[in-house]
Amino acid sequence: MNGGVNGVALAVFIFFFLLVTAMGFLAARWRRAENEHSLDEWGLGGRSFGTWITWFLLGGDLYTAYTFVAVPAAIYAAGASGFFAVPYTILVYPLIFTFLPRLWSVSHKHGYVTTSDFVRGRFGSKGLSLAVAVTGILATMPYIALQLVGIQAVLDVMGVGGGEDTNWFVKDLPLLIAFGVLAAYTYSSGLRAPALIAFVKDTLIYLVIAVAIIYIPIKLGGFDDIFAAAGEKFEAAGAGGVTPAPAGQWTYATLALGSALALFMYPHSITATLSSRSREVIRRNTTILPLYSLMLGLLALLGFMAIAAGVKVENGQLAIPQLFEDMFPDWFAGVAFAAIGIGALVPAAIMSIAAANLFTRNIYKDFIRPDATPEQETKVSKLVSLLVKVGALIFVLGMDKTVAINFQLLGGIWILQTFPALVGGLFTRWFHRWALLAGWAVGMVYGTVAAYGVASPTQKHFGGSSKEIPGIGEIGYIGLTAFVLNVLVTVVLTVVLRAAKAPDGIDETSPADYTADAGDPGVQVELPPATAGSAH
């Protein structure tokens, strides 16, 4: 890593940071509605975004700074097994094409802001709704922390903040400033801020990847030399490789499938989805979002390029920022660092809003203050969005970075356990609410205990997300195994409870609610007051 501060790169980084900061605050006036003081406006942008805004928002939401840093870092450290992120983002789009339009329609009809709103309305169960909300908040917190880790990695490579011997406040001051700015414009502008900034973020990322995939291989002698250098490294180490090893293919496949099932269970994915103005916007986006998968495939190759370029870092998360520092002119390295930094701000803002909406609608309103007005809901969400960011900042400043990474892996296992209640509920009312709650509990307990028992060379517990059982062999991704157990328990208990004629909750939805589109001619879909979706 270079000594001192890269002044040119830092100046370019600061320019783009100031640009998106100004955009973040100006977004409060963008598409402003008469009734600003509601979660529909602050938390969902007035449910008014069209195809391209939604595309940039979802892309900015799903393809984060951590993606930019961690996916090629995994390839840098472990070889082709890190490519699992590419097939899983390909698998996810046909999957969400089948259920996201239905979720949008029923949410638009009943004024649902969160997935827990839908689960409560569909199954008439505040307990199940609470379980989904708590899971979403727990899974999102470390994800936000990892966005700040991405910013910190860029700052470290640029030499900002001093070395390990520097006073902690001086060392972390740049990150504290970035956090403060993020918190301020999210509080002020809500979802409109990341929606507007996403245009800059995605443009920079596409530009950086297009240049990197051409410029860096030319400097390194071409892709033949890059793959040869990577192959030599992994052969010498006796692990990984430029193609997945046969022994790891089952883990690779289950991790890709499980991750695809989990991706749109995350609250921030749903928040971006529900901000769209029609179900057709969602359907169009599922056909054009795979362009990001193409970008991700090219991005992953940077891991092999870092090996060929001789990048040596103790923390693998610094490999790609260091590659940019070494290979690009200082001014373009600043552009690349800005892409990563802004790539952290957009999803961190959406994630904090999503977590805050879950707390407000499904904990505060359901269990603390049922008579809360829309203005009070919005105020609470704004405050909670700040608290969520503070929690993420504590993760980054007060703990080993691997703690946040491990909890994010655990978050993926957890959030997958909400799939039966959410996606199952969109297509059938057969599942019993108590069975869904029991299945969720079994999946959560098994997934947590199994993940706790996985060790790695650096971590005694939570060392990974796949597991091997003595006498049985490799069972693959823990989250998918927990999901299968969840579904089995749910189905068996549903049969038992239906046979016992256990009381069922009231379904406030109707079949027509799942196919209506506010953008379709002749279809009249009325949005109830903001409080109606919560009063059951």
3-state DSSP assignment of residue 474: strand
| Highest mean pLDDT of the ranges 57-66, 78-87, 445-454 | 445-454
Q: What is the pLDDT of residue 521?
A: 38
Give the rounded distance of the alpha carbon of 448 from its chain centre.
Answer: 20
Q: What is the pLDDT of residue 509?
A: 93
| Alpha carbon distance 195, 61 (integer Å) | 9
Q: Average pLDDT of 250-269?
A: 88
Residues 292-315: b if buried by 16+ CB within 10 A, e if exposed: bbebbbebbbbbbbbbbbebebee
Q: Write phi, then psi, for 509 (nearest 5 degrees).
A: -100, 165
pLDDT tens digits for range 178-228:
888 888 888 888 888 888 888 888 888 889 999 999 999 999 999 999 999
Q: What's the confidence (pLDDT) of residue 164?
A: 53
Q: How far apart are alpha carbons 90 and 305 in whole angstroms?
A: 23
Model confidence pTM above 0.85: yes
Q: Could you give the angle at the alpha carbon of 235 between the alpha carbons of 233 and 236, nearest 5°?
A: 65
| pLDDT at 429 exceeding the cut of 90 | yes
| Nearest alpha carbon to residue 372 among 178, 504, 241, 529 | 529
pLDDT reported for residue 70: 79
Residue 255, pLDDT score? 85
Mean pLDDT of the chain: 83
Q: Would you list the domain boundaries of the chain? A: 7-63+92-199+240-289+344-534
How close are the terminal C-alpha atoms of the chain, in Å?
58
Question: Is it the case that residue 22 has pLDDT exceeding 70?
Answer: yes
Each residue's pLDDT tens digit, 39-68: 788 888 878 788 888 888 888 777 777 777
Confidence of residue 118 (pLDDT cuts 50, 70, 90): very high
Amino acid 353: pLDDT: 92
pLDDT reported for residue 24: 84
Per-residue CA distances from 215 to 226, 327, 492 (Å): 13, 9, 57
| pLDDT given at position 531 | 35
User: Could you please report the per-residue DSSP string of 477-517?
Assistant: EHHHHHHHHHHHHHHHHHHHHHHTT---------GGGGT--
Flag whether pLDDT at 1 surpasses 70. no
Per-residue model confidence (pLDDT) at position 457: 57
Q: What is the pLDDT of residue 151?
A: 82
pLDDT digits (tens, 9 = 90+) for 355-402: 999 999 999 999 999 998 888 999 999 999 999 888 888 877 776 666
3-state class (DSSP) for residue 240:
coil
pLDDT at 391: 83
Q: What is the DSSP letter of 505?
A: -
**Both tokens of residue 394?**
């504590």
Q: Are 418 and 136 in contact (CB under 8 A)?
A: yes
Contacts of 413 by beta carbon, 8 Å cutoff, 6+ apart = 447, 448, 451, 465, 478, 479, 482
CA distances from 398 to 87, 351, 407 (A): 35, 21, 15
What is the predicted pLDDT for the residue at 535? 36
User: Comparing 343 with 488, which gets the higher pLDDT?
Assistant: 488
The predicted pLDDT at position 160 comes to 77
pLDDT digits (tens, 9 = 90+) for 307-332: 999 888 877 778 888 899 999 999 99
The mean-pLDDT minimum among 255-269, 317-331, 411-425, 471-485 falls in 471-485
More confident residue, 453 or 309: 309
Which structure tokens are listed for 93? 């789009």
Q: Where are the alpha helices (DSSP H) in 115-222?
A: 115-123, 126-158, 168-189, 192-220
Tokens at 363, concatenated: 């904990």
Of the pLDDT bands very low, low, confident and very high (cuts 50, 70, 90), residue 472 is very low
| pLDDT tens-digit map of 226-235 | 999 888 888 7
- Judged against a pLDDT cut of 90, whether residue 115 lies above it is answered with yes
Mean pLDDT of 504-522: 78
Average pLDDT of span 70-97: 84
The tokens of 316 are what?
């693998």
Which tens digits make up the pLDDT trace of 151-172? 888 888 887 755 554 555 556 7
- CB crowding 263-285: b at 16 or more within 10 Å, else e: bbbbbbbbbbbbbbbbbbbbbbb
